[in-house]
Structure 1
Amino acid sequence: MDTTTLDQAPGRELAVDPDEITQAFEYYDEQGWTDGLPVVPVTESSLAAFLAATDRDPDDVLFHIPHLNRSMTVRLAAINAALAGCKPAYLPVVIAAWEAIAAEPHPRRGIWQSTTGTAPFLVVNGPVRTEIGLNSQGNIYGSGFRANATIGRAIRLGCINVFGLRPHSLDQATQGTPAKYSACIGENEEQSPWAPFHVDNGFEATDSVVTAFVIRSVMHIEARHTMSPEQLAEDFADSIRRTGALIHEYTSALLVLVPEHADLFAAAGWSKDDVRQAVFERVVRPRAELAAAGKDAVSHKTRWRLPSGHPDSMPDTAAGSDTPDVVPLMSHPTSVQVMVAGANNAGVSSVVEVFTLNPPRAIPFSAVKIGAVENGAGA
């Protein structure tokens, strides 16, 4: 590590005293405007550079939460992007992210305030990934890439500073998730054997798109042991159908496959739909195993899983089927979404636990083209 300080760096002349920057951060922290980490002080001149990166009116509403009566505008999105350490060129991605989030019904229903500890999760597709240096090819959930870290963080800071979602206050997460700091990845389109995620969902390959999910956790699956697509599908299914994941009657998942696993499926002639269908068919549990965990029935009020002896319980949907002793834990094959991301160096993929409505939406995500004006997205 180079221990040269900023004021010692060759060719650098400081326009401000570093102590003043520290004082500014301490002030921001005292106001509760941070996520616990230092933020970048924002001035009107630095904010102007962000607003110049978009054609949107600063007062345009990107997202409104009715029960909080608070709105995210383009100007507020830009301020929080600047605080997060974004470059101005990232702002169009941040704006599209907010509009994708606005199309997701969960936040408007208070899910970000939930004890469950959910967080927004962003997937970026298209040319913008290379234009801004957004990582899609290794350590995708980790550190090291400014675009990933700060775009995701801009959303979290907006949640805190605009919507007041602070821990121990409006944010009531019992334990939370590291994704509450930042969760933004790119798809590794270049090393995928299939069409990119955004193309699967109606966009052009040349479009840059942000997709928003609401998630609870990311679980890594070590699967270097097999060349059988059926065995690999079973490994993913077994990870999804664990009883601890079952809050509602059904669950959903985003499979983030590394190129090695995607190539294994593709070499066997499997499409993404084949992967989705194979996993969906395997995400079942014997009712006796659900009963052992106290999750063999659902609530009359919420359809959350609970014991059949509970006074609020009612039979789940599978109880009226031809095979009541075998319980499907997903409502439809679209409850499994598939994308490719990560390095092509090992068989380590992940299951992202996607939080869906109950009954679940047919498509458990919302996508927005970067630079497009989403009329009514903030309504």
Structure 2
Amino acid sequence: MSMTIESAPQVDVERIHEALEYYAAQEWTDGLPVVPVTESYLADFLAATDRDPDEVLFHIAHLNRSLTVRLALINAALAGCRPGYSPVVIAAWEAIAQEPHPARGIWQSTTGTAPFLVVNGPIREEIGLNSQGNIYGSGFRANATIGRAIRLACINVFGLHPHKLDQATQGTPAKYSACIGENEEQSPWAPFHVDNGFEASDSTVTAYVIRSVMHIEARHTMEPEQLAEDFADSIRRTGALIHEYTSALLVLVPEHAAVFADAGWSKEDVRQAVFSRVVRSRADLAAVGKDAISRKSRWRLSADHPDSMPDTTSGTDSPDVVPLLSAPTSIQVIVAGANNAGVSSVVEIFTLNPPRLHPYSISKIGARS
């Protein structure tokens, strides 16, 4: 072990312990220790942006609580962010504010959703945000603390404590922190923010509401059709089916992206191939009691349920073949992770598509909302 406690700056350790215990007693944490924050320390975060500290970034009407720039940055400091991360945290909240589900209380839901951030552009290098190996894991301060800043504000500003306003039945590790960068440098395609009309020189944050991240082990093939089928089969598993339609983000490692690109496939080709394969038979859905939808919520349930109504497919020429995605835009594609193995992932997005054309929201870092 290379750490030497004696070499650390000399401080009053007992006072630090007291501060940490005080913050924990006030329930200002996510269960892990936080960084004590003073007004002088917070000033460094506020100085990193030209935004008014009292500007409201996000409001949840039914809770009658608002997140200001100052409150967002207090929680960024608590999370362990560096002051230079402030514009990213602010842009993340502006993207989240465009999402309809958080404002309606999805973060309080038994479903156990979490915010998920994808960062694009030069800011990744500037702040050391990881986009290559171990993107969902530990080891990079920017990823860990920017995602954590969002969670701490959910707790401290909106009161979303587990067993209280947060009623998640099981939740997800993403509730601690979920922030990755796109591996633009090893992608064979244009980066995600360029696909959305931004310049390559711009930096952006894209926000999703997610339920889980599922890894796809596919080291066995160089055939793009086989790889597309592997992704489709993962998306169409019945346990993931909640609403009439679902959405997914494909996070391809460079190796898998190259399989597609070397075969001449664009991102749109990947999207279309997966979309066309995400279907189930009516019998498959009936076997798990998901062959109809609720009149009230459009959640899947059995055709025998008193609240059930036929799903959209029932009135078509092929009622026994049920598409589980409403449109190709239900599938989004980015490249992230190391170029050392064929292990990609499917991020299960909670946002229903339609009614939204795109199951995400994107915000430019440093821009006014």
Indicate the TM-score class for this superposition, using the shorter chain for normalisation: over 0.9
Deviates more, 1:306-315 or 1:353-362: 353-362
| Correspondence for 1:258 | 253
Aligned match of 1:89? 84
Deviation at 1:357, TM superposition (A): 3.1
CA-to-aligned-CA distance 1:98-151 (integer Å, 9 cap, x gap): 000000001011100000000000000000000000000110000000000000
Q: Would you say how many aligned residue pairs link Structure 1 and Structure 2?
A: 369
| CA deviation profile, 1:254-313 (whole Å, cap 9, x unmatched) | 000000000000000000000000000000000000000100000000000000000000
The offset of 1:356, in angstroms, is 1.1
Q: 1:377: which partner in 2? A: none
Give the aligned partner of residue 315 of structure 1: 310
Q: Is the 8 A contact 2:280 2:322 kept in 1?
A: yes
Question: Contact 2:253/2:335 (CA < 8 Å) preserved in 1?
Answer: yes
Give the 3 Å change call, closer, same or farther, for CA 127–358 of structure 1 in structure 2: closer
Q: Is 1:150 matched up with 2:145? A: yes
Report what 1:332 is aligned to. Answer: 327
Identity over the aligned pairs, expressed in percent? 82
Rounded Cα–Cα distance in structure 2 between residues aligned with 1:183 and 1:321: 40
In structure 2, the residue corresponding to 1:176 is in which secondary structure?
coil
Shift of 1:359: 4.3
2:279 is aligned with what amino acid? Answer: V
Shift of 1:331: 0.2
Decide whether the 8 Å contact of 2:91 with 2:205 is kept in 1: yes
**Do structure 1's residue 277 and structure 2's residue 307 form an aligned pair?**
no
Hey, what's the Cα distance between the residues in 1 that align with 2:348 and 2:329?
Answer: 14
Retained in 2: the 8 A contact 1:63–1:99? yes
| One-letter code aligned to 1:100 | A
For residue 158 of structure 2, what is the amino acid of its counterpart? Answer: F
What CA RMSD, in Å, does the superposition of the two structures yield over aligned residues?
0.8
C-alpha contact (below 8 Å) 2:113/2:211 kept by paired residues = yes
Q: Does 1:98 align with 2:93?
A: yes
Aligned position for 1:348: 343
1:240–1:351 CA contact under 8 A, matched in 2: yes
The question of 1:362 aligning with 2:347 is answered no
Q: Distance in 2 between matches of 1:357 and 1:67?
A: 21
Inter-partner Cα distance in structure 1 for 2:23 and 2:15: 12
Structure 2 counterpart SS, 1:63: strand
Scaled by the length of structure 2, the TM-score of the pair is 0.99
**One of 37, 56, 60 as aligned partner of 2:55:** 60
Q: Flag structure 2 segments of 5+ consecutive residues without an equivalent.
A: none
- How high is the TM-score relative to the length of structure 1? 0.96
Q: 1:3 to 1:190 in 2, by over 3 A?
A: closer
Structure 2 Cα separation of the partners of residues 158 and 223 of structure 1? 37
Match of 1:181 in 2: 176
Q: Is the 8 A contact 1:331 1:360 kept in 2?
A: no
- Write the distance in 1 (CA, Å) between the matches of 2:332 and 2:129: 21
Quote the Cα distance in structure 2 between the aligned partners of 1:19 and 1:230.
61
Letter of the structure 2 residue corresponding to residue 179 of structure 1: A
1:139 aligned residue: 134
Where in structure 2 are the equivalents of 1:1-379 lying within 5 Å?
A: 1-5=1-5, 8-9=6-7, 13-14=9-10, 16-357=11-352, 359-374=354-369
Would the aligned equivalents of 1:135 and 1:186 in 2 still touch at CA under 8 Å? yes
Q: What is the one-letter code of the residue matched to 2:117? A: L
> What SS class does the counterpart of residue 62 from structure 2 fall into?
coil
Q: Deviations over 1:5-27 (max 9, x none)?
A: 1xx21xx542x301111110100
4+ residue segments displaced more than 4 Å = none
The alignment partner of 1:106 has SS state of helix
The residue identity in structure 2 corresponding to 1:340 is V
SS of aligned partner of 2:118: strand
Q: What amino acid does structure 2 have at the position aligned with 1:2?
A: S
How much has 1:64 moved relative to structure 2? 0.6
SS at match of 1:351: strand
> Which runs of no fewer than 5 residues in structure 1 stay unpaired?
375-379
Q: Which amino acid aligns with 1:326?
A: V
